[in-house]
C-alpha cells in the first residue's frame, strides 16, 4: 500500500539524518581540535594535569602552550563574552584538580556569545542551554539530531577544510596559520586610525567582576594567573578610567591565590601587531615564552609544580 511506502521512505530518511548527524558530530565537530566545539569537548573530558587557558581571541591566538613551555591547553574563543568564559571556568573548577588556571583579563567585555554554532552540540547540557537562552540564541531544533546543524554546515566544513588543506595548525588548542601573510604597514595604519576614532577604556560590569572574584575566592586550591597581553599604543591614546582599572588590578593582586601579569602597555614594534589588539605570530611567540618563564618562576616561588 502507498502509505506503507511513505512510512518506509520516512523511516529511511530519518535513519539517514540520524546517521549523518552522528558522523558529523563525532568526526567533524567534536573529533577535531580545529573546531571550538572540539576544544570544549576536550575541556569536558580532561581531568589530568593540564593548565587551562581561558579568554577571547586575544588569548586563543597569543597564549601558545608550546612556546610557554607548560603543560597547558588553550580554550580561548573568538568573540567570547565573560558569560561564556564563566561557564567554561565553572566546568574546569568543578574538577578535582589543583593545577593553575590562566585567564585573559579584559578592559571591557565583548558582550557577545561568540560563534553560536560552537554550542549546538552541547544544547542539552543545562549549563550551555542557560547561556544560549541568556543570549536569546536557543532554538528547539538544537535538541533534534538530524536538523540541529542546518544553516551551520558551511562553518563546520570550513574548519575541516582548514585542517585537510593544512592552512592552519593546532597545538594544545592554540591555532595558527601555516603561512602567515607578511606584515602590511598600510593595513595596520588603517586599524590604528579606526582605533583612534573608537572609544577605549575600562568599562566594568559589576556583576561579572563579582562572579569572577567569587570563583577565585571559593577555589583557594587553584592559583589564578590573570594575564593581559600587549596592545598597540594607539589603544591607549584616549583610554578612559585607567585609574579605576589600576584599582581593580590592585584588588585582584591582593588575593592570595592570584598572580597578575599585566603587559598590556609593553612597547613592541609595529611589525609585531596584526591589528591594535592582536599580535602576529612572532610577537605572540615571544610574549608566550616570556609569560611561561614568569609563570614558572612564580610557581617555583610558591612551591608548586610547573608540569
Q: What angle do CA 276, 240, 217 make, to 5 degrees?
A: 90
Instruction: Report which of 243, 256, 291 is spatially closest to residue 59, judged by C-alpha positions.
Output: 291
Tens of pLDDT, residue by residue over 256-301, are: 999 999 999 998 999 999 999 999 999 999 999 999 999 999 999 9
Instruction: Report which of 36, 42, 90, 29 is spatially closest to residue 59, judged by C-alpha positions.
Output: 36
Grid coordinates of 272: 609585531
- Predicted confidence band at 237 (pLDDT cuts at 50, 70, 90)? very high
Say whether pLDDT at 306 is over 90.
no
Q: What percent of the chain has pLDDT over 70?
A: 94
The pLDDT value recorded for residue 47 is 86
The pLDDT value recorded for residue 20 is 77
Tens of pLDDT, residue by residue over 170-212, are: 888 898 877 889 999 999 999 999 999 999 999 999 999 999 9
Tens of pLDDT, residue by residue over 89-121, are: 999 999 999 999 999 999 999 888 888 889 999
Q: What percent of the chain has pLDDT over 90?
A: 66
Domain residue extents for the chain: 38-112+167-301
The pLDDT value recorded for residue 29 is 83
* Domain 38-112+167-301: top CATH class: alpha beta
The pLDDT value recorded for residue 164 is 56
Q: Which helix (H) or strand (E) holds 169?
A: strand 168-171
Greater confidence, 27 or 85? 85
Bridge partners of 258, per DSSP, are: 224
The pLDDT value recorded for residue 23 is 79
Bridge partners of 171, per DSSP, are: 174
Per the prediction, the chain carries an average pLDDT of 90
Greater confidence, 219 or 144? 219
Say whether pLDDT at 31 is over 90.
no
The pLDDT value recorded for residue 275 is 95
List, in order, residues 6 or more apart from 155 with CB less than 8 Å away: 115, 117
Q: Are 155 and 29 a contacting pair, CB within 8 Å?
A: no
Q: Are 148 and 142 a contacting pair, CB within 8 Å?
A: yes
Alpha-carbon distance of 241 to 148, in angstroms, equals 43
Confidence (pTM) = 0.92
Amino acid at each position: 500500500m502507498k502509505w506503507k511506502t511513505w512510512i518506509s521512505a520516512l523511516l529511511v530518511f530519518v535513519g539517514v539524518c540520524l546517521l549523518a548527524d552522528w558522523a558529523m558530530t563525532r568526526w567533524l565537530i567534536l573529533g577535531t581540535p580545529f573546531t571550538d566545539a572540539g576544544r570544549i569537548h576536550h575541556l569536558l573530558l580532561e581531568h589530568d594535569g593540564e593548565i587551562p587557558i581561558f579568554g577571547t581571541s586575544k588569548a586563543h591566538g597569543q597564549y601558545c602552550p608550546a612556546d610557554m613551555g607548560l603543560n597547558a591547553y588553550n580554550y580561548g574563543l573568538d568573540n567570547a563574552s565573560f558569560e561564556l568564559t564563566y561557564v567554561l571556568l565553572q566546568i574546569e573548577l568543578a574538577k578535582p584538580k589543583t593545577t593553575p588556571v590562566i585567564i585573559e583579563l579584559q578592559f571591557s567585555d565583548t558582550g557577545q556569545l561568540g560563534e553560536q554554532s560552537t554550542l549546538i552540540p552541547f544544547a542539552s547540557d543545562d549549563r550551555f542551554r542557560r547561556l544560549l537562552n541568556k543570549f536569546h540564541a536557543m532554538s528547539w531544533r538544537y535538541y533534534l539530531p538530524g536538523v540541529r546543524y542546518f544553516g551551520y554546515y558551511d562553518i563546520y566544513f570550513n574548519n575541516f577544510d582548514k585542517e585537510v588543506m593544512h592552512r592552519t595548525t593546532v597545538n594544545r588548542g592554540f591555532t595558527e596559520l601555516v603561512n602567515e601573510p607578511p606584515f602590511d604597514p598600510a593595513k595596520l595604519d588603517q586599524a590604528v586610525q579606526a582605533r583612534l576614532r573608537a572609544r577605549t577604556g575600562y568599562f566594568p560590569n559589576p556583576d561579572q567582576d563579582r562572579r569572577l572574584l567569587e570563583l577565585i575566592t571559593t577555589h583557594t586550591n587553584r592559583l589564578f594567573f590573570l594575564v593581559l597581553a600587549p596592545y598597540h599604543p594607539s589603544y591607549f591614546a584616549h583610554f578612559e578610567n585607567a585609574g579605576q582599572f589600576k584599582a581593580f588590578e590592585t584588588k585582584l593582586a591582593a588575593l592570595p591565590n592570584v598572580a597578575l601579569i599585566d603587559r598590556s602597555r609593553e612597547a613592541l614594534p609595529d611589525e609585531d601587531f596584526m591589528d591594535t589588539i592582536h599580535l602576529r605570530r612572532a610577537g605572540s611567540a615571544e610574549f608566550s615564552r616570556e609569560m611561561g618563564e614568569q609563570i614558572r618562576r612564580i610557581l617555583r616561588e610558591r612551591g608548586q609544580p610547573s608540569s
